[in-house]
Structure 1
Amino acid sequence: MIPEISSLEIAHLASGDTLSIQVYKFRGKNPGQKAYLQANLHGAEIVGNAVIYQLIELLSELDETQLDGEIWLVPACNPFGTNQRSHHFSSGRYNPYDGQDWNRIFWDYEKTEEDIAAFAKTQLDLEPDEIRKNFLDRILQKFQTLRQEIESPSGVPYSDRYRYVLQSLCLDADYVIDIHSSTNRSFDYLYCFQTREESAKYFLLNYGILLNEYDGDAFDEAFLKPWLALELELTKLEKPTFFDLESWTLELGSGMEMNADSVYRGVRGIKNYLVGKEMLKISGFPLVQTASQKVEFFRKSHIKKYYAPRGGLVRSRVLLGTIVKPGKLLYQLLVLNKTGEPPEILDVCAERGGIVFDLSTNQAVNQGEYVLGLLERAESGAANP
């Protein structure tokens, strides 16, 4: 297949240069669902670009009969963040102009004045496909009012213009995959919404964060949250309805590096997922291990972050993926002082048991700075005093 390639301008700069994103659109011979994939929303999180590159190669080698529907791919979806530097280091997590997290700026239809409960009451005699079309029409109509604000003489902040461009590509999609990495050091896992757990197995990742509380400002949330709200309202009206719409955030590896294993797992999982959703036809997929794949889910409230109790140098820190029990050593802190006393070693132990999934890149920390993250298992008790 030959993709349709287009560039969308997202900002005109004082220097006269422009920032743009490039979209690769693959369309199959037969109509079907739409999948939207993007990568590198945060500047340091570059692994997804390699994943999308390999997916572009894969799709380019397929015949159009092997795709039902269409797949849109956007690498380096945030050039502002991707190009942001401080000395040798790339962060690009926050907009330097207003300080906002790039993944906490998105438009959520549920937060408008539209009454989803009232809409649900008007749809009780309709089939799910009709309800879905009617609700999507409402979302798109409301979304178009944002364009009027953007084009007004007073204009809008850059973040508003940027989010409009990205969301205009995906609001009519069936499946959205936003590829991230840890800004620090991490293993591979995913974010999953409640009621969509069954599909998580296709990505062949062992761990997931189950989203049951969210504000709708993140990219994956802004897409799916209104639909989950509609499903809930229809259930309350004794018309339980499930829409085949899904949104995922894949967390693949660590910031500022192209980890080959993470790239491999990302490509394999996305291929497996798209075949499982009957969009792609690829020999050997879905992989045989999909049926037995178990994903261990942790609620977002079970993410425990450890911050340095004093300033110092981190040493003897546990490795990524280590399963720790309550009271076990997580790391030591070499604490320097200006009191005329020798340096001391401070042991920091786990409050509860769990899995070490994230480590800070910098091992020199001031008091209160992040050191590591733990996915706490609910059955793990607290450490003995």
Structure 2
Amino acid sequence: MQRIEYPLLSPSLGSQKTLVGFHYGTPGARPKVYIQASLHAEELPGMLVAHHLRPLLDAAEKDGRLVGEVILVPAANPIGLSQRLMHRPAGRFEFDTAENFNRHYPDMAAAVLAEATPRMGADATTNVATVRELTGQWLAKWQPASELESLRRQLLLLSHDADLVLDLHCDMDAVLHLYSEEACWPAFEPLARLLACRAVLLARESGGGPFDERLSGLWWQLAAALKAAGVDAPLPQACASTTVELRGEGDVSHDTARHDAQGIIEFLEHAGVLSTATRPTLPPMACQATPLAGSQTLHSAAPGVLVFLARPGDTLAVGDVVAEVIDPTAAGQARVHEVRAEVAGVLYATVRERYVVAGGEVGKIAGATPFRSGDLLGA
């Protein structure tokens, strides 16, 4: 294992932040896996999972079981980790730009299309190597103009040529769930089984340029662009990436982190990244994959004290009351506003705050029928 520090662009005199990566195996070995945690810096369960992954990866490397290469970045957002406002962490949006740390990554398919098109041939393996080479060259030439851009660039330099990418996040209060592009689902169904995911949200493309989708989207978007241009060349889905939501912000415990780290290790064994005498037995799915476009975000039409009648993990029917919003200042009897499910499915996440403003978010239900379009992710 090699620990490498990557300095970010300094935003001010006397200020320098560093990204730390742990590199296991031989650079260039396949399959290559990239795992990062806490890109939204206040989401800490993934950071603890990374802590428990390190000794497991150390042991696998020492025992000669590491077939491929693994890069682990336990704290993917040193910028957000340094941001606090009135004694509270604020690691989702950068203070300087108000941009979400997990949005606005560059469109690498568009960036390399012109150079890749004339170099595509009949051999899929060669085409994959060419696209990875061109993408790496484009990233190396990118001159970031800010600390935030330098973070995005460094994360992509580490991950752009990976076969598998796991971006570890969490929600506010939630059950374990994952997001992925449809093209990546076959690769990650074993992970969903091993982690006992209670919801899986799939989309062709979610919108907004999140980290994981820029990596996997490179391949299917480039393949589609080549086909549209009349180029008949095979280009497989050479990267599968996913965002794994490790329950809620308060679910930072050694027991759950060890469980999740072990599940990831077994996934790496199943994927052939770690050699093993027998492949891990896959448990049954704990849920059905559903379209992200079928996920309902619940909102309250009224302000007040938020009282949940359902909990993350509950299966709801249309019309079920998820929460009550109580206005204790109303004249006469206190006013109670009910927040009801408008789709059937698993309540996979809720807010942590117990006061909600009018129009405020309450929770999310994984519905099976698509009804939304456009950008499908929240702020």
TM-score interval, smaller chain: 0.7 to 0.9
Q: Secondary structure at the match of 1:351?
A: coil
**2:223 maps to 1:227:** no
Cα distance, 1:257 vs. partner?
4.2
Cα-to-partner distance string for 1:211-258 (whole Å, 9 max, x where unaligned)? 212336111111111211233356675655424421111110112540
Matching residue of 1:78: 77
Cα distance, 1:289 vs. partner?
2.5
**2:144 maps to 1:141:** no
Matching residue of 1:26: 24
**2:5 maps to 1:7:** yes
Q: Contact 1:28–1:66 (CA<8 Å) still a contact in 2? A: no
Percent of aligned pairs with the same residue?
A: 20
Matching residue of 2:377: none
Amino acid at match of 1:60: D
Q: Contact 1:30–1:68 (CA<8 Å) still a contact in 2? A: no
Relative to structure 2, which stretch is displaced further, 33-42 or 230-239? 230-239
Distance 2:116 2:2 in 1: 37
Distance 1:316 1:173 in 2: 41
Matching residue of 2:161: 172
Residue 146 and residue 29 in structure 1: after superposition, are their counterparts in 2 closer, same or farther (change >3 A)? Answer: closer
Unaligned residue ranges in structure 1 (runs of 5+): 151-155, 381-385
Distance 1:364 1:215 in 2: 30
Residue 264 and residue 302 in structure 1: after superposition, are their counterparts in 2 closer, same or farther (change >3 A)? Answer: farther
1:55-66 alignment runs, 5 A limit: 55-62=53-60, 63=62, 65-66=64-65
**2:354 maps to 1:363:** yes
Matching residue of 2:375: none
Amino acid at match of 2:336: I
Cα-to-partner distance string for 1:269-301 (whole Å, 9 max, x where unaligned)? 3112211221102456x32135x4465112111
Q: Secondary structure at the match of 1:358?
A: strand
Distance 2:130 2:26 in 1: 25
Matching residue of 2:49: 51
Cα distance, 1:29 vs. partner?
10
**2:274 maps to 1:280:** yes
Distance 2:285 2:307 in 1: 35
Cα distance, 1:15 vs. partner?
6.6
1:148-227 alignment runs, 5 A limit: 150=144, 156-182=145-171, 184-203=172-191, 204=193, 205-206=196-197, 207-215=199-207, 217-227=209-219
**2:332 maps to 1:341:** yes
Amino acid at match of 2:101: W
Relative to structure 2, which stretch is displaced further, 30-39 or 188-197? 30-39
Cα-to-partner distance string for 1:112-157 (whole Å, 9 max, x where unaligned)? 3x546x9456524x2111111112222222222213xx4xxxxx12
Amino acid at match of 2:347: V
Relative to structure 2, which stretch is displaced further, 10-19 or 211-220? 10-19
Residue 19 and residue 352 in structure 1: after superposition, are their counterparts in 2 closer, same or farther (change >3 A)? Answer: same
Residue 16 and residue 358 in structure 1: after superposition, are their counterparts in 2 closer, same or farther (change >3 A)? Answer: same
Q: TM-score, normalised by structure 1?
A: 0.86
Distance 2:205 2:26 in 1: 36
Cα distance, 1:43 vs. partner?
1.6
Cα distance, 1:54 vs. partner?
1.3
Distance 1:226 1:343 in 2: 54
Residue 235 and residue 269 in structure 1: after superposition, are their counterparts in 2 closer, same or farther (change >3 A)? Answer: farther
Q: Secondary structure at the match of 1:68?
A: coil
Cα distance, 1:341 vs. partner?
3.2
The count of aligned residue pairs is 364
Matching residue of 2:374: none
Residue 84 and residue 273 in structure 1: after superposition, are their counterparts in 2 closer, same or farther (change >3 A)? Answer: same
Q: Contact 1:108–1:223 (CA<8 Å) still a contact in 2? A: no
Q: Which has the larger radius of gyration?
A: 1
Distance 2:237 2:184 in 1: 10
Distance 1:198 1:128 in 2: 19
1:246-285 alignment runs, 5 A limit: 246-260=240-254, 262-282=256-276
Q: Secondary structure at the match of 1:222?
A: helix
Unaligned residue ranges in structure 2 (runs of 5+): 372-379
Q: Secondary structure at the match of 1:32?
A: coil
Cα distance, 1:17 vs. partner?
3.9
Cα distance, 1:259 vs. partner?
4.0
Matching residue of 2:300: 308
Residue 268 and residue 315 in structure 1: after superposition, are their counterparts in 2 closer, same or farther (change >3 A)? Answer: same
Q: Contact 1:27–1:64 (CA<8 Å) still a contact in 2? A: no
Amino acid at match of 1:32: R
Distance 1:275 1:198 in 2: 16
Amino acid at match of 1:130: T
Matching residue of 1:153: none
Cα-to-partner distance string for 1:28-51 (whole Å, 9 max, x where unaligned)? 599432211110100221111111
Residue 316 and residue 229 in structure 1: after superposition, are their counterparts in 2 closer, same or farther (change >3 A)? Answer: closer
Cα distance, 1:318 vs. partner?
0.6
Distance 1:294 1:235 in 2: 37
